[in-house]
Chains A and B, each alone.
Chain A
Amino acid sequence: MTAILRGLRGASWIWAALGALVMWLLLGFFAGRFNLESLIATSTTAAFLAIVAMGQMIVITTGRGAIDLSIPGVITLSAYLATGMSLGSNARLLWVFPLALAMGAAVGAVNALAVLLLRIPPIIATLGVGYIVTTLILVYNPHYRSTYVASLLTHVARDRLLGVVPLVVLVALGLAALLAWTFRATAFGKSLAALGQSLPAARLSGIDVTLVQIIAYVVSGVLAAFGGVLISARVGGAFLGLGDPYLLETVGSVVVGGTLIMGGRAVPVGTLFGSLFLVLLVTAMQVAGMRIGGQYVAEGALIIAVLLLATGRGAR
């Protein structure tokens, strides 16, 4: 019985893992050599993506076409806050970091309010909220004056444990493990998956569907803000449009990882591998000398292709 379960669950993320492996081999082939170092470097990049993609995954799992399009805006704003307000001081980080997370939570709460209370479709609600966040960035931008990153952040974003495993990769792994446990062994995880499968059935099972969805949007906002803080440390500052690539890529990682786009099933481990796969793909395209236009085309086409395959397997 458990073997069947494991088999079923395994099938959903194994493809992303295989894809990442194949991509890595291809990359080695292009580069003419296989080294662990390049894998570590790409997995660092993937870790940043994975952290924010986990939030996207949680929102998507609420089902019926839910999606968080405000993630890029939150990432950028949080990067601005983290660098612009901490001014490179670890002490200031003590309140700047919570502030950034609170900003993410607030954006998530506004999203939830618009979706649940005002009944605006998630796409529009999060898109609209995202635009407002973007405006906040534009307003804040002229006052922004720092390219200094607190050393503590740099440490987390760039350093490695024992010189081998990047800390941020550990963070992403820990997050994935935490979420995997949440979906397996907490009422929140079960409720989230339940309402993504069938909202009426979830309501009749006594789930507070409003509360659970609010939490989902808030978590997504917080993770985007958290990711934004780390990303600012990685790139050494903040700039307009910093978060933009993360729109398609979060959705891509989630979908590639076997999470159902129609909701009801989240696969945190899959999202991890999905992120790795996407980053490897981009790296491979760069190594192969593909121009940026071609990369965009390939990424967009890939997501659609994966969706075609995923729905083809008769998941729903």
Chain B
Amino acid sequence: MTGPESATRQAPLDAAGQPAPARALFELHGITKVYGATTALREVSLTTRTGEVVGLIGANGAGKSTLTRVLSGVTRPEQGELSHLGRPVPFGSYTPAAASARGVRVVYQELSLCTNLQVCENFYVEQHATVTGALRWRQRMRRVAQQALDGVFPGHGIDPVARVGGLSIAQRQMIEIARAISMPGLQLLILDEPTSSLGATQTSQLMSALGRLAGSGVSILFISHRLREIVEVADRVVVMRNGAKVWEGPNQDLSEALLVERITGEAAAAAQRAPPAAPPTAGREEVFLRTRRLTTETLAGLDLDLRGGELVGVAGLEGSGQREFLQAVFFAKRRSGQVERGGRIAYVTGDRAKEGVFPLWPILDNMSLVEVTRSGLFRPLDLRRLAGKVADWFQRLAIKAPGAGTPMVALSGGNQQKVLVARALLADADVIVLDDPTKGVDVGTRRQMYALFHEAAAAGKLVLWYSTEDEELESCSRVLVFRYGRIVKELAGGEASKQRIIEASFAGEELLVRQEAVARRRRPQLALLVPLAAMLAVFAISAALQPGVLSGFGIDLLLASSLPLICSALSQMFVVGLSQIDLGVGAYMGLVSVLCATALHDHPLVGLLALAASVLAYAGMGALILVRSIPAVIVTMGMSFVWIGLGLTLQDSPGGEAPEWLVSAFSLPLPVPESVVLVVLLGVAAHAFCRSRYGTVLRGFGNNPVAVERSGWSPVRAVAVTYALASLFAMVGGMAITAASGASDINSTKSYTLLTVAGVVMGGSELLGGVISPWGSIVGAITLSLLSALIGFLRLDSSYVTAVQGLILLGILASRLLRKVEV
């Protein structure tokens, strides 16, 4: 591969062609970062130099990720100093934007692309500073994307205008890397496990690209668990353990084995070693687990026969199907076709924050939950007995807390994990599933847990233990090694050494199904087709019943009457783009209508100011929702009462008078019906905004706000602008109402709220994830208006209109789900 190349790489050349001396780029000194009870970083110092690749390695929880977050301005440490090119930079002002301005770029482990955007749009979201002008930026970004991908991964086969959501994980990772490398002004590139989903070819392509990049003077921080890559590409290696830097040195005479030693630490490694393998005890008859051709998306026909009394290790490279196996076993019905299980089962996760801890509860409730759920849903619990059991386990595990009433979130990771293990043991489960339970847990606690697991197995239980740390599994009575969703090796107790597990983990290469070949198909062209067809169908039926509908006048009448709904649907669409819903849009439109018929008529200047103020209020409402993370539904619902209240205060009964200019503005003498012109104008405006530079960013924000913020965009601004836009479109609707009726009634517009959501959804926008369609929303709104007209033509009771509309909305959402299931 690229090993020799990196060894003989030339020092960067300066302008005169002379090797430029490597300069210190970023210097971190004495960095300490504390999260609650855990110290993530302890007095860490690190220097990156121009043209140098630093390999940063360490076990899970060693502090690598925290360190990169400090470097990229995401995390502010409690202590320590930072300097850039020799000048000190205070952490107070070192935001992600500031880091980005200094040329720092991170490729994160979890991908930070907006899946609803095209590849080139994703390039824009990040490299926006390089683009000026409103029109030609797309072509330009397309070129940049193409060149960037060609530069790093020749032969990548990715279309720059493809939507990222339709690409494979490997392709996304490639885009992510290429985008970072092509960043203009790049000085420090941080790669956090960049090769985790790349194939061999792309990995070696990346290695040579990194060599070239370093040759051009960029400083690179390379984090990887694949030590071979580190040895290949790094000039200098930094080893971290438990938040501290434990070793640093040039990449000379380093081997993987040597690095492993440095990572684990000789002494620590010995201490972590589990007790020797215990022979399986005679398990209880009724405790067993059998799988027959267990097949899921990831798993490929597993056949297993396990009994109580065993401690079964589950090993393999991360993501080879181990977790899927554990979950399939846990969630299987007692006797489903593929899984047969005897005894009660409990699951212990190592992902404490995401799927283990109940953050509002103290230890007591957290520990006793599984036992609690064993009882009938409404049968009184014996709280005293529960508390007694919890107290027992609390003592037995020596949990470091004042008592069982201590909030769970106040505990350190290790102690939280003890509680989670106790949750399963307290319930006296027969089959215990351990999903990497020692992740990020200190040595002392680990030892305690090993003993517990052995004890459980010795008591006749079946313990399934998945661990990402192979040496832990040496003590199991047998070890199942996974690769690509299959068990490629089963090691018996005595022979399950770390060495052998690792060897087996790399076996079965031939089982890999190449992901790249099967990029999923997308259906973007169809998006507008379905709502359009629905509209035409309703239109045709209406025309059949009432031929007048077909005339120019008929169309004008229909469109003019649906104008308020079209406007408010577009308004709702922007909010839906943020994955939120505005329950106040109908009321707001009513308020605008009242303002038009009162203030704007009597005192135009005051009226205009009031309308402007309402836009600001909307923007402020959006900002509030974001900053305080309050549910948008409640805030907009509360605001809807404020809008109605204001409307009632201005005008307590229907009435008022529309300003003449407003009325004439909505009835201009045009050759085509004005309603058509207005609808087209609204559509063009909304569409143009969505396609514009900032509109693209906003759509991206609705899909992946974290990524967009990392790229230096202000989330508050994004939300405020979106809500301001929403209010502007709704405002046009409110004006149309007043212009059409010549007066206003605050209570007349409430029913619009549900209709807007229905229209938006009918038009093909997604309620989650930033996929919005302006033309679709317009078509959806027209269809809904047509429907209520149609019900009139059919001489049906108008009472049914709302039910039909409600049913249609639910129906569309339901059918969309079914379609997704099919795909």
Contact = CB atoms under 8 A, between A and B. Distances in A.
A190 B404 CA distance: 17
A212 B378 CA distance: 11
A65 interface: yes
Interface stretch (A79-87, A123-131, A161-169): A123-131
A284 interface: no
A220 interface: no
Interface in B216-274: none
Contacts of B376: 187
A11 B36 CA distance: 23
Given A131-B806, A135-B803, A300 B642 contact: yes
A3 to B, nearest CB: 9
A130 to B, nearest CB: 8
Interface stretch (B6-14, B24-32, B304-312, B810-818): B810-818
A311 B629 contact: yes
Contacts of B346: 206
Contact of B645 (A2, A191, A203, A294): A294
Contact of B356 (A135, A204, A260, A262): A204
Given A127-B757, A128-B754, A261-B634, A207 B624 contact: no
A297 B634 contact: no
A292 B648 contact: yes
B757 A124 contact: yes
Contacts of A207: 369, 373
A299 B646 CA distance: 12
Contacts of A212: 377
Interface in B766-823: 767-768, 797, 799-803, 805-807, 809-810, 813-814, 817
Interface stretch (B100-108, B357-365, B608-616): B357-365
Contacts of A251: 634, 637
A201 interface: yes
A291 B649 contact: yes
A187 B381 contact: yes
B799 A139 contact: yes
Contacts of B635: 304, 307
Contacts of A134: 802-803
A118 interface: yes
Contacts of A67: 631, 633-634
A138 B362 CA distance: 49
A123 B584 CA distance: 13
A198 B357 contact: yes
A132 interface: yes
Contact of B754 (A131, A193, A215): A131
B652 A293 contact: yes
A296 interface: yes
B624 A308 contact: yes
Contacts of A114: 810, 814
A36 interface: no
A135 B380 contact: no
A298 interface: yes
A132 B806 contact: yes
Interface in B372-406: 372-381, 383, 402-405
Contacts, number: 231
Given A1-B404, A187-B379, A118 B641 contact: no
Contacts of B809: 124, 128
Given A65-B631, A120-B814, A311-B628, A298 B358 contact: no
B638 A304 contact: yes
A228 B568 CA distance: 32
Contacts of B581: 121, 123-124
Contacts of B583: 123
A302 B380 CA distance: 38
A128 B804 CA distance: 10
A201 B366 CA distance: 10
A201 B814 CA distance: 27
Interface in A272-316: 291-304, 307-308, 311-312, 316
Interface in A172-204: 182, 184-188, 190-191, 193-194, 197-198, 200-201, 203-204
A255 B806 contact: no
B660 interface: no
B380 A293 contact: no
A248 interface: yes
B299 to A, nearest CB: 18
Contact of B360 (A128, A187, A264, A292): A264
A311 B627 CA distance: 10
A119 interface: yes
Which of A187, A215, A251 counts the most chain B CB atoms within 10 A?
Answer: A187
Contacts of B652: 291-293
B334 to A, nearest CB: 12
A139 B797 contact: yes
Contacts of A130: 806
A138 B796 CA distance: 13
B817 A118 contact: yes
Contacts of B370: 205-206
Best-surrounded residue of B642, B768, B810 (most CB of chain A within 10 A): B810
Contacts of B641: 248, 296-297, 299-300
A261 B638 CA distance: 14
A134 B754 CA distance: 13
A307 B649 CA distance: 25
Nearest to A182: B378
Chain B: interface residue count, which band? 35 or more
Interface string B435-474: 0000000000000000000000000000000000000000
Contacts of A300: 637-642, 645
B44 interface: no
Nearest to A251: B634
Interface stretch (B81-89, B347-355, B543-551): B347-355
A171 interface: no
Nearest to A65: B631
B377 A197 contact: no
A197 B813 contact: no
Nearest to A125: B810
Nearest to A244: B750
Contact of A262 (B373, B381, B631): B631
Given A124-B581, A308-B624, A190 B330 contact: no
Given A124-B767, A128-B806, A248-B641, A186 B380 contact: yes
Contacts of A234: none
Given A186-B379, A261-B630, A201 B806 contact: no
B377 to A, nearest CB: 4
A94 interface: no
A255 B634 contact: yes
Given A131-B806, A132-B807, A297-B649, A307 B800 contact: no
A132 B362 CA distance: 42
Nearest to A5: B405
Contacts of B757: 124, 127
Q: Quick one: which of A2, A129, A186 has the most chain B CB within 10 A?
A: A186
A191 B377 contact: yes
A207 B330 CA distance: 12
Contacts of A5: 362, 405
A39 interface: no
Nearest to A295: B645
17 contacts: A1-B402, A118-B814, A118-B817, A124-B767, A130-B806, A131-B806, A138-B799, A139-B797, A193-B360, A198-B357, A201-B358, A204-B356, A206-B370, A206-B374, A300-B640, A311-B628, A316-B359
Interface of B: 330-331, 345-347, 349, 354-362, 365, 369-370, 372-381, 383, 402-405, 423, 581, 583, 624, 628-631, 633-635, 637-642, 644-650, 652, 753-754, 757, 761, 767-768, 797, 799-803, 805-807, 809-810, 813-814, 817
Given A129-B806, A260-B360, A299-B638, 18 more contacts: A5-B362, A67-B631, A120-B813, A124-B581, A127-B753, A132-B802, A135-B802, A138-B802, A184-B383, A185-B380, A197-B359, A198-B354, A204-B330, A206-B370, A292-B652, A293-B645, A304-B634, A308-B624
